[in-house]
Structure 1
Amino acid sequence: MSLMHTSFTRRRAAALTVTALAVALAATGCGDGDSSAPALPGKPGAGADGVIAQSVYDAAPVASDADIPAGSTMAEIRKRGYLNIGGSLDAPLLAQQNPVTGTIEGFDADMAKLLAKYIIGKPEVKTTTIGTQTREALLQAKSVDVVFQTYTITPQRATQIAFAGPYLTSGLAVAVRKDDTSIKSVKDLAGKNVIVGANTPAVTALPTAAPGSKQIAFGTDPQAVQALLQKRGDAYVQDFTLLASDAKSNPGMKVVGEPFTTEAYGIGLNREDAQFKEFVNNWLKKIQADGTWAKVWEGTLGSVVEGGKPTPPAIGSVEGS
């Protein structure tokens, strides 16, 4: 995740007072997916309010004994009985602690639980909240097994740790007001008044992606969202995962289309454990092929995105993965 995205995440976290209370009560949390609601019609992966259905967990694959050799990291995790992950508790639709149930919900959180089920046979995880500046050190010290935290794959980071994946692609995307049906993708922004964050990648990307668009810049994400809702611009262009979180908190807006730039997220692993990386990549391929990945998308990030589900990124397709 970029420094710009990280700073916006911090501002967003400050506004989520209920979630902040839950975080203050517990620096770590456990989740097993058992509290997910029944699936809703028309959304195969969806339960209630952005929580994936219990049926997704029930149908998820489990590794065979042959896939978990004695002495491997996977064998150690299976014996321990839970997957130790580094992540967040304050990112709506990605990894947010439910203040009522205490479970951690969202795309990253659910992917971690599904990896736990693949290894252990049940979605047992222990989440250690970490900062972006400590991820590499924790993985190198084996203080956590994996990191699920919108962790952008870069060649520089790949000299310190390993990445499985990519498992999710983000990038700049478009948000509009809920009742707007005229804008369906960035191509429809030509000649429009477009809200952007000052000094964000949108400033330089829009002239090429939407020729003739006029930019209206705001210093913070909350200011930009308010401007969109108050009709001071036709659309808001920002990082996809941030817009999805905004749409979760603001029912008057929605995300349209897919990201039109690319930022690939990987699962952080210890760099010295090539066997574990191969194992996690094979798991990703399985859940992409059997539709599990798509159901997690539909029940989390996809719950606020208008349009079909995206194609999952190809494993090993990004430099550093």
Structure 2
Amino acid sequence: MSLRPPARKTVTALAVTAALALSGCSGESPSRAERKTNFIDRAPVATEAQINSSPTAAAIRARGQMLIGSDKNLPLVSQQNPTTGQTEGFDATLSRMLAKYITGQSTPRIVSVTPENREQLLEAGTVDAVIRIYSITEKRARQVTFAGPYFDSGQTIATLRTNHAIQTADDLRGKKVCVVKDTTSEKAVTQKEPEAAVTPAADSSQCVSALEQGKAEAYVHDLTVVAGAAQLNNKIKIVGNPFTSEPYGIGIRHGDDSFKNFVDDWLRSIERSGLWRQAWQQSLGTVVPGGPPSPPNIGGAPGT
């Protein structure tokens, strides 16, 4: 998926909270602060037998640091905190837990990747894995092996908080809908509601502006991007559930089945323990309505 996040206008609430907590001025009770610390502290570390089941995992442990391809500018998904320097969000938290599982340390080296170069970086060994809203497709699976899926995203609707007329995708009929050009959003909207008036924009920030200016009544994009926009701008809200399914996977070098099985086993362990749920609650769950979704079936997406 090739996505450009909305322009960052202010320090995110997530970053501010993290910075205050680290400085000891958060105002939180000690028990809540401890729970945040213990969230990563409770993440498991693989046994020697588990590590030895995968030559790639063994090589990473011997190196002492995991190299993860990701991003540092995706709010609620993977964004660098300007105060602490740490990357935060749902994907970032999974990256930290996977690194800890393999090396014992929740401090991976984050390598910036793009949709254009991630397969090449995996093939070259520049990164050990890619965790960056990486949609699983059968076409991509011919170049990269996917563990997971670890999250099921999809096209989601955002409106102004003052708009109560749109609650589901069926309500888009006859409405002005902004989408980002060169994404799958336009096709998804027209297939779901052919009578919607779809207007492409250059990026997410332009769609948010269109909402504020009354040029659009709804903005449709992938859940993770819409959530980031809602977190940055309190004038908009997410309505309803995603009306398409888009599973995200962890990309690893093509053909490395032992490492895929190793990562899949780790995903199952954090799902069983509730750590996956906590990662969602403290990131995407801060703006997405409803409770945490159920994790997708590992190995259940075409391409896995």
TM normalised by structure 2 equals: 0.84
Which of 275, 280, 291 is matched with 2:263 structurally?
280
Shift, 1:243, TM fit: 0.8
Q: For 1:304 and 1:313, how far apart are their aligned partners in 2?
A: 20
Classify the secondary structure of the residue corresponding to 1:272. Answer: coil
Q: For 1:210 and 1:198, how far apart are their aligned partners in 2?
A: 18
Classify the secondary structure of the residue corresponding to 1:164. Answer: strand
**1:170/1:250 Cα in 2 relative to 1: closer, same or farther (>3 Å)?**
same
Q: For 2:53 and 2:185, how far apart are their aligned partners in 1?
A: 49
1:299 equivalent in structure 2: 282
Classify the secondary structure of the residue corresponding to 2:69. Answer: strand
1:252 equivalent in structure 2: 235
Q: For 1:71 and 1:211, how far apart are their aligned partners in 2?
A: 49
**1:287/1:162 Cα in 2 relative to 1: closer, same or farther (>3 Å)?**
same
Q: For 2:96 and 2:44, how far apart are their aligned partners in 1?
A: 12
**1:54/1:185 Cα in 2 relative to 1: closer, same or farther (>3 Å)?**
farther
Aligned pairs (5 A) from 1:77-92: 77-92=60-75
Shift, 1:68, TM fit: 1.6
Partner deviation per Cα, 1:157-199 (whole Å, 9 max, x = no partner): 2222211011122221011223445544324434544333456
Q: For 2:64 and 2:38, how far apart are their aligned partners in 1?
A: 22
**1:277/1:187 Cα in 2 relative to 1: closer, same or farther (>3 Å)?**
same
1:105 equivalent in structure 2: 88
Kindly provide the amino acid, as one letter, of the partner of residue 254 in structure 1.
Answer: K
RMSD over aligned Cα, in angstroms?
Answer: 3.0
Unmatched tracts of structure 2, length 5 or more: 12-20
Question: Are 1:268 and 2:222 matched, yes or no?
Answer: no
1:235 equivalent in structure 2: 218
Q: For 1:206 and 1:317, how far apart are their aligned partners in 2?
A: 25
Partner deviation per Cα, 1:195-249 (whole Å, 9 max, x = no partner): 3345653433334534654445544422221121234443222222221121122
Indicate conservation of the 8 Å contact 1:169/1:313, yes or no.
yes
Indicate conservation of the 8 Å contact 2:54/2:258, yes or no.
no
Kindly provide the amino acid, as one letter, of the partner of residue 77 in structure 1.
Answer: I
Q: For 2:271 and 2:261, how far apart are their aligned partners in 1?
A: 15
2:156 equivalent in structure 1: 173
Q: Determine what percentage of the aligned residue pairs are the same residue.
A: 40
User: Bigger CA drift: 53-62 or 277-286?
Assistant: 53-62
1:75 equivalent in structure 2: 58
Q: For 2:44 and 2:95, how far apart are their aligned partners in 1?
A: 13
Shift, 1:141, TM fit: 1.9
**1:273/1:178 Cα in 2 relative to 1: closer, same or farther (>3 Å)?**
same
Classify the secondary structure of the residue corresponding to 2:132. Answer: strand
Unmatched tracts of structure 1, length 5 or more: 20-33
Aligned pairs (5 A) from 1:201-212: 201-210=184-193, 212=195
Q: For 2:199 and 2:120, how far apart are their aligned partners in 1?
A: 40
Q: For 1:149 and 1:300, how far apart are their aligned partners in 2?
A: 14
1:226 equivalent in structure 2: 209
Q: For 1:143 and 1:198, how far apart are their aligned partners in 2?
A: 31
TM normalised by structure 1 equals: 0.80
Shift, 1:90, TM fit: 1.4
1:28 equivalent in structure 2: none
Q: For 2:263 and 2:181, how far apart are their aligned partners in 1?
A: 38
Kindly provide the amino acid, as one letter, of the partner of residue 109 in structure 1.
Answer: A
1:160 equivalent in structure 2: 143
